Amino acid sequence: MTCTSSFVDRGGPAQPLLLLTGLKKHFPIRGGLFGSTVATVRAVDGVSFNVRKGETLGIVGESGCGKSTTARLLMRLMDPDAGSMVFDGEAVGQHVATGGITLKEYRRQVQMVFQDSYASLNPRLPIEESIAFAPKVHGVSPSEARARAHEILAAVGLAPATFARRYPHELSGGQRQRVNIARALALQPRLILLDEPVSALDKSVEAQVLNLLVDLKEKFGLTYVFISHDLNVVQYISDRVLVMYLGQVVEQGPVEAIYDRPAHPYTRALLASRPSMDPATRRTEPPLTGDPPNPINPPSGCRFRTRCPFAEDVCAAREPVQTDMGGGHEAACHMAEPGSGHSQAGRLAA
Amino acid sequence: MSEILERPMSTTTAAATPLVKVRDLSVRFVSRDATMHAVNGVDIDLAAGEVLCILGESGSGKSVTLRALMKLLPKYARVTGGIEVAGRDVQAMNEGQLQDFRGSDVAMIFQEPMTALDPVFTIGQQIAETVVRHEGSSRAAGMARALELLELVQIPSAKRRLEAYPHELSGGLRQRAMIAVALACKPKLLLADEPTTALDATVQIQVLLLLRKLQEQLGMGVIFVTHDLGVAGEIADRVAVMYAGRVVEEGPVAAMMKAPLHPYPRGLLGATVHGGMRGQRLTTIPGAPPSLETLPTACSFAPRCELAEPACLAGVPPPNSPMPGRSARCILVPNLP
Ligand SMILES: Nc1ncnc2c1ncn2[C@@H]1O[C@H](COP(=O)(O)OP(=O)(O)OP(=O)(O)O)[C@@H](O)[C@H]1O
Ligand SMILES: Nc1ncnc2c1ncn2[C@@H]1O[C@H](COP(=O)(O)OP(=O)(O)OP(=O)(O)O)[C@@H](O)[C@H]1O
Ligand code: SF4
Ligand code: SF4
Ligand SMILES: [Mg+2]
Ligand SMILES: [Mg+2]
């Protein structure tokens, strides 16, 4: 197979593939007569994490918490207002001479798959053309690009003889999402960002696409960042999980730690909110009351304090910092931080 | 307890007659160049105070079935079969009767609350207006009821929220407001089309528990459309699974979740990711549902069914019932008297 990644693993397996520090993205809301900025949406507000080589990192959190904005920043579809990104040891968007990687080269190694399988494909192009398009832009000859497109179509389970000349409207939702995945693979990337890739699919089709993603990762040595609001799917597919709330990371760690021993009160409530498939274990009280607040005016201190049953004065006064509870399991809560001033400080051990 | 909860259920349609009785419902959408056989012979029975969840793949006819119960389908929809709700023949109703029927006998809530709420009126005005129209009560009485309803659906600072316009509310509050409008005249039957699908996980469970509580308090019958097995697990008494415009399995929720009879819900259950499946290969259902441009004349699931045999193509399998209260349209399921 010629599709195996052609990129060298520069820093070795221990060096993170992507290292993000203090990422911020604020959106101004304009209004008034002169279109002046009347408010700011703090969509991503100081986010730091690593993506390790060969892992699947799941990102969960409620609507508007900044998952997609984080993905768009990772993809460099937009520039961060602050923060740094280092890709396999090279600073993203800086000169090669100073040890950086250009945006053009970075964008080749990082690809993205979105939820809406229809909107992301050109309706007037047969799917083999859609898949071959980016490689041609990057200088691959048309015949070679086409051959590669057929190879990838076969890899995502769409027989090229049947499907290569079809148009997007001639495909089912699941088939279209396979085409989107094929298109992301066409440039032989190292990292694929999957933003709700199965959310628009029926359950029976979702399972097909999840199996496919697992196979492709193995086959091409890929690394995934997998965003979803479906906590069961994230548990199934991820090695590590990041939990976001109102533009910030509140907890991260290995998937077993997050699901078996969630530390942050928000993570606990989120996991406890999953409907149970067993009518015998129905609950009577919801784990949380209220809606997530607006990211325009996030609460001071801990952003979860307006809904947190353990909130104390210190939670309004000071922002909690990420505290390591062992084994790479971190939570940003005053109860996890020894000596924070919370009456239960330090009690949240892993 | 609030006044709205004290009003007794109208006892004219007691347990003797079911709240909903649908027989051989079919809906076709006919246009110049195509016919879509959206619903192809659906039977539904619902007792007063019972919650039925309709599950099924996208396009299987769930929403169309629900809309038919309220006669809300467009003019070009060809609807046949019998639809009886609260003892009334829905198909035979004229516009005036429908106006009275919608709201007082049956109400509907949707995934997107803005389709049900009017953006130019406050929440209070919308509820009061419904009450005045249906019950002929005064404006003041309507407003009093509105406040009571907002409290009933657990909207915080309800008094202040009476003055709010729909766009001023968060997603979860808007969903609650829509429920309040739907309950304004205490319908006997609530139709719910994926009302929690667009909500956040922590808000979805709040709204589900609220709906279940209201349903019990008010003794309402509910038909709840969802594609989420977990939602059915939380709220349903019985489940009907639709495939290609037909109910392929029907029965009590616990039994269905534990051991479905029909290969499609069995596959669906196996394909649904839940906790503890890490590292396992997911079971899948190959292929996709049929296009409904021609009326299926055999088992519609046959092209995807690993148990299919020639006999499955002989005709549409009848609903076989191996035990009281359960049935499945599959020739492999025995029909025991
Ligand atoms: N281009 C933009 N301009 C202004 N605000 C934006 C823009 N993009 C996102 N936002 C806001 O930033 C916040 C984070 O949005 P984002 O799309 O990242 O959330 P999300 O976690 O992906 O949510 P969902 O689960 O609904 O997809 C939201 O409040 C959103 O309204
Ligand atoms: N007004 C209409 N005109 C023509 N076809 C329609 C109309 N409404 C629905 N249909 C078709 O009828 C079929 C059943 O649609 P329905 O909305 O009931 O599906 P559903 O089970 O609710 O799916 P979903 O889970 O996606 O909401 C679909 O193929 C749909 O395209
Ligand atoms: S810091 Fe305080 S408010 Fe925030 S999650 Fe921890 S206990 Fe709750
Ligand atoms: S009738 Fe035949 S094809 Fe249909 S579900 Fe049963 S076994 Fe499968
Ligand atoms: Mg998003
Ligand atoms: Mg629908």
Domain CATH for B68: 3.40.50.300
Q: Which amino acid is at A204?
A: S
DSSP codes, B275-330: TT-TTSPPP---S-PPP-SS---S-TTGGG-TT--GGGGSSPPP-EEEETTEEES-
Tens digits of residue pLDDT in B41-80: 999 999 999 999 999 988 899 999 999 999 999 989 999 9
Q: Tell me which range, A93-102, B39-48, B145-154, is most confidently predicted by mean pLDDT.
A: B39-48
Is the pLDDT at B16 greater than 60, yes or no?
A: no
Contact across the interface for A204 and B170, Cβ inside 8 Å: no
Residue B148 within a domain: no
Q: Are B240 and B25 in contact (CB under 8 A)?
A: no
Is the pLDDT at A246 greater than 70, yes or no?
A: yes
Is the pLDDT at A4 greater than 70, yes or no?
A: no
pLDDT of residue B201: 86
pLDDT of residue B274: 83
Kindly give, in sequence order, each residue whose CB lies less than 8 Å from that of residue A192, ignoring residues fewer than 6 positions away.
Answer: A110, A111, A112, A113, A184, A185, A222, A223, A224, A225
Three-state secondary-structure class, residue B3 = helix
Three-state secondary-structure class, residue B50 = coil
CB atoms within 10 A of CB B238: 20
The domain in which residue B54 lies consists of 2-105+187-273+283-328
pLDDT of residue A7: 61
Q: Which amino acid is at A331?
A: A
pLDDT of residue A349: 57
Phi, psi angle pair for B97, to nearest 5°: -65, -35
Residue B7 within a domain: yes
Contact across the interface for B202 and A204, Cβ inside 8 Å: no
How many distinct structural domains can be found in chain B? Answer: 1
Hey, whose CA ends up nearest to atom 1 of ligand 4? B330
pLDDT of residue A204: 81
Confidence of residue A138 (pLDDT cuts 50, 70, 90): confident
Is the pLDDT at A268 greater than 80, yes or no?
A: yes
Contact across the interface for B201 and A292, Cβ inside 8 Å: no
Cα distances (Å, whole numbers) of residue A43 to A85, A249, B156, B181, B199: 18, 12, 26, 33, 19
Contact across the interface for B202 and A273, Cβ inside 8 Å: yes
Report the mean per-residue pLDDT for chain B. 90
Kindly give, in sequence order, each residue whose CB lies less than 8 Å from that of residue A215, ignoring residues fewer than 6 positions away.
Answer: none
**Residues in chain A, total:** 350
Q: Are A268 and A87 in contact (CB under 8 A)?
A: no
**Least confident residue range of A229-238, A244-253, A275-284:** A275-284
Q: How far apart are CA B220 and CA A147, in angstroms?
A: 61
Entry pTM: 0.90
Q: Do the bridges between strand B189-193 and strand B221-225 make them parallel or antiparallel, or are there none, so unpaired? A: parallel
Residue B170 within a domain: no
Q: Could you tell me if the CB of A310 is within 6 A of ligand 3? A: yes
Mean pLDDT of A291-311: 90
Residue B140 within a domain: no
DSSP codes, A54-117: T-EEEEE--TTSSHHHHHHHHTTSS--SEEEEEETTEEETS-GGGTEE-HHHHHHHEEEE-S-T
Count Cα neighbours of B316 within 13 Å in the Cβ-side half-sphere.
15
Contact across the interface for B229 and A280, Cβ inside 8 Å: no
Please give the residue that has the higher pLDDT: either A291 or B121.
B121
The two counts, helices (H) then strands (E), for chain B are 11, 12
Mean pLDDT of B202-222: 92
Q: Are A43 and A295 in contact (CB under 8 A)?
A: yes
Contact across the interface for B230 and A284, Cβ inside 8 Å: no
Residues paired with residue A101 on neighbouring β-strands, in sequence order: A92
Residue B145 within a domain: no
Confidence of residue A312 (pLDDT cuts 50, 70, 90): very high
* B200 chain-A contacts, CB cut-off 8 A: 62-63, 229, 291-292
pLDDT of residue B128: 93
Kindly give, in sequence order, each residue whose CB lies less than 8 Å from that of residue B114, ignoring residues fewer than 6 positions away.
Answer: B166, B174
The token duo for B246 is: 């037909």
Q: Are B40 and B244 in contact (CB under 8 A)?
A: yes
Is the pLDDT at B5 greater than 80, yes or no?
A: no
pLDDT of residue A58: 98
- What SS3 string covers B109-156? ECCCHHHCCCCCCCHHHHHHHHHHHHHCCCHHHHHHHHHHHHHHCCCC
Radius of gyration of chain A (CA): 22
The token duo for B286 is: 């190959």
Is the pLDDT at A153 greater than 50, yes or no?
A: yes
- Residue keyed to tokens 């076989």: B320
Ligand 3 centre and the CA of A301: distance in Å? 9
Is the pLDDT at B15 greater than 60, yes or no?
A: no
Ligand 4 atom index nearest CA of B263: 5
Closest-CA distance of chain A to residue B173, Å: 8
Is the pLDDT at B154 greater than 60, yes or no?
A: yes
Contacts of residues B64-68 at CB distance under 8 Å and 24 or more positions apart, as own/partner, are B64/B27, B64/B38, B64/B39, B65/B22, B65/B25, B65/B27, B65/B39, B65/B242, B66/B108, B66/B191, B66/B193, B66/B223, B66/B225, B68/B25, B68/B27, B68/B39
Q: Are A69 and A28 in contact (CB under 8 A)?
A: no
Is the pLDDT at A3 greater than 70, yes or no?
A: no
Among A190, A166, A162, residue whose Cα is nearest residue A176? A166
Q: How far apart are CA A206 and CA B335, in angstroms?
A: 33
Q: Which helix (H) or strand (E) holds A215?
A: helix A203-220
Ligand 6 ion: nearby residues, β-carbon < 5 Å: B 63
Tell me what ipTM this predicted complex has.
Answer: 0.85
**Residues in chain B, total:** 337
Closest-CA distance of chain A to residue B87, Å: 31
pLDDT of residue B86: 93
- What SS3 string covers A242-296? EEEECCEEEEEEEHHHHHHCCCCHHHHHHHHCCCCCCHHHCCCCCCCCCCCCCCC
Q: How far apart are CA B236 and CA B253, in angstroms?
A: 6
Task: Compute the count of residue pairs across chains A and B with CB atoms less than 8 Å apart.
Answer: 121
Cα distances (Å, whole numbers) of residue A71 to A49, A228, B167, B196: 13, 12, 28, 26
Query: Which chain A residue is nearest to residue B235, measuring alpha carbons?
Result: A279
Among A121, A186, A188, residue whose Cα is nearest residue A149? A186
Please give the residue that has the higher pLDDT: either B79 or B202.
B79
Q: Which amino acid is at B138?
A: S
The proportion of chain B whose per-residue pLDDT surpasses 90, expressed as a percent, equals 67
Is the pLDDT at B177 greater than 50, yes or no?
A: yes
Q: Could you tell me if the CB of B333 is within 6 A of ligand 4? A: no
Is the pLDDT at A238 greater than 90, yes or no?
A: yes
**Least confident residue range of A40-54, A68-82, B4-18, B261-275:** B4-18
Phi, psi angle pair for B246, to nearest 5°: -130, 155
* B55 chain-A contacts, CB cut-off 8 A: none
Ligand 5 centre and the CA of A333: distance in Å? 25
Among B72, B13, B73, B78, residue whose Cα is nearest residue B46? B13
Ligand 1 atom index nearest CA of A294: 29
Confidence of residue A350 (pLDDT cuts 50, 70, 90): very low
The proportion of chain B whose per-residue pLDDT surpasses 70, expressed as a percent, equals 95
Is the pLDDT at A83 greater than 50, yes or no?
A: yes
Contacts of residues A209-218 at CB distance under 8 Å and 24 or more positions apart, as own/partner, are A209/A174, A209/A177, A209/A178, A209/A181, A210/A236, A210/A237, A210/B273, A210/B282, A211/B281, A211/B282, A211/B284, A212/A156, A212/A157, A212/A178, A212/A181, A213/A181, A213/A237, A216/A155, A216/A156, A216/A181, A216/A185, A217/A56
Is the pLDDT at B294 greater than 60, yes or no?
A: yes
Hey, whose CA ends up nearest to atom 5 of ligand 3? A333
pLDDT of residue A68: 92
Q: How far apart are CA B241 and CA B61, in angstroms?
A: 10
Is the pLDDT at A72 greater than 80, yes or no?
A: yes
Among B37, B40, B19, B18, residue whose Cα is nearest residue B28? B37
